[in-house]
Amino acid sequence: MRILFSSTPAHGHLLPLLPLARAFRDRGDDVAVLTAGAFAPLLDAEGITLLPAGPTADVLFAESARRTGVDAAADPRPEAVADFFAGTRVDLTADDALAAAREFAPDLIVAEALDFVGPLVAAALDVPVATMAFGPAIPAEFTDGMTALVGSRYADRGLAPVPARWHLDPCPDLLQPPGWQAPANRVPVRPEPHQGAGAGSGTRANAGSDDAAGTPGDRPKVLVTFGTHFSDPATLTPILAELRTVGVDLVVTLGLTASAADYSAADNNITFAAFTPLADLLHDVDLVVTHGGAGTTLGVLSRGLPLVVVPQGADQFLQAAVVSGSGTGIAVQPGPDVPETVAKAVVTLRSDPCYTEAARTVAAQIAAMPAPAEVAAHLATALA
């Protein structure tokens, strides 16, 4: 069977697809990923074919900002988000994607939730499509605008949108927003923190493993990770300075472009880490301070660890809201006192066991969800 995954060219969108892509790969299926060519090293290491199509995210953001006058990453208002995902990206990617996909001849296309290229290709090739969420349900104020905008791109090509046959959902019910109702085509799939190349698609649950969390001690270990694109030293350095005052050891991820020298917070109790799979970073930490990327949030909670979420843009405010609402952590909204508030939140998470208990409850619900290998087998059987 030939399975084509399609993703917006950003780590936060692509990495949550990898566990299911590995599961199909490990079954012996032919697997390819349709996204920008810059992800070749990541996919080569996985032994997964890249079908390069479209520009990288920085080019897309620049063009979308030129069209709308708004930076959709920093100012995620609905009309800017709609143009970026359903307008600009489709315009600059769809033709290349269709040519590459036609040659690959997939039996199924799996598109992440904000990828509008894969579903258009599926309509053109008349193959079934599955969408895959990467976090809590996206509010209708965003999805309605994107759906309306991409409709003109279908019409330009003489196509009609095809409903997704499956909605693959890694978000446990406890983290869905108030009023959420599961769609009829929902297929739960257990989320996993990103693992390095060579990781298989086994069925081991993350929750409750012996290496999931550190043992609370005199100096707790705190992971500070603002993802691949939001690790701005100007934002993080004041936060790190405050965290140094509350008696914790810090592991700080550098994102894709920063180096330890960019931070003026050198300290024996701070370890800086270049891009490292999240699964490796979570082995012995007690809690996490994060920007609230969906993959990071679900990966951390799958290990039963509480969070402090400091949203910077994109969909991170949604993650902050569900973390706060579920009692699994504390959300710190933008403002002049963010560093001090983050430090106080870390102290609170360490002193109040309710947050860890709530995180472990979510972890147990995640562990009960079908593993990627089970979902791959289910989809393959349905297609056959």
pLDDT digits (tens, 9 = 90+) for 150-204: 999 999 999 999 999 999 999 999 999 888 999 999 999 999 998 877 655 544 4
- Across the range 133-151, mean pLDDT stands at 93
CA 43, chain centre distance (Å):
17
Q: Which helix (H) or strand (E) holds 345?
A: helix 338-351
Gyration radius (Cα) of the chain, Å? 20
Give the Cα separation of 108 and 220 in Å (integer). Answer: 46
Fold designation for 221-366: Rossmann fold (3.40.50)
Domains 2-191+369-383 and 221-366 share a fold: yes
Mean pLDDT of the chain: 90
Using CA atoms in the order 289, 291, 296, 298, what is the torsion angle rounded to 10 degrees?
90
pLDDT at 218: 66
pLDDT at 183: 93
Q: Are 301 and 307 in contact (CB under 8 A)?
A: yes
pLDDT digits (tens, 9 = 90+) for 272-287: 888 888 889 998 899 9
Give the Cα separation of 357 and 366 in Å (integer). Answer: 14
Q: Are 218 and 365 in contact (CB under 8 A)?
A: no
pLDDT at 66: 95
Phi and psi, residue 5, nearest 5°: -95, 145
User: 166-169 and 49-52: which strand pairing?
Assistant: unpaired
pLDDT digits (tens, 9 = 90+) for 69-110: 998 877 888 999 999 999 999 999 999 999 999 999 999 999
Name residue 287's beta-bridge partners.
222
Q: What is residue 15's DSSP assignment? A: G
Give the confidence band of 266 by pLDDT, cuts at 50, 70, 90: low
Length of the chain: 384
Q: What is residue 355's DSSP assignment? A: H
CATH code that applies to domain 2-191+369-383:
3.40.50.2000
Domain segments of the chain as ranges: 2-191+369-383, 221-366
pLDDT digits (tens, 9 = 90+) for 192-245: 998 877 655 544 444 443 444 444 456 889 999 887 677 677 788 889 989 988
Owner of token pair 């298989």: 200
Per-residue pLDDT at 348 exceeds 90: yes
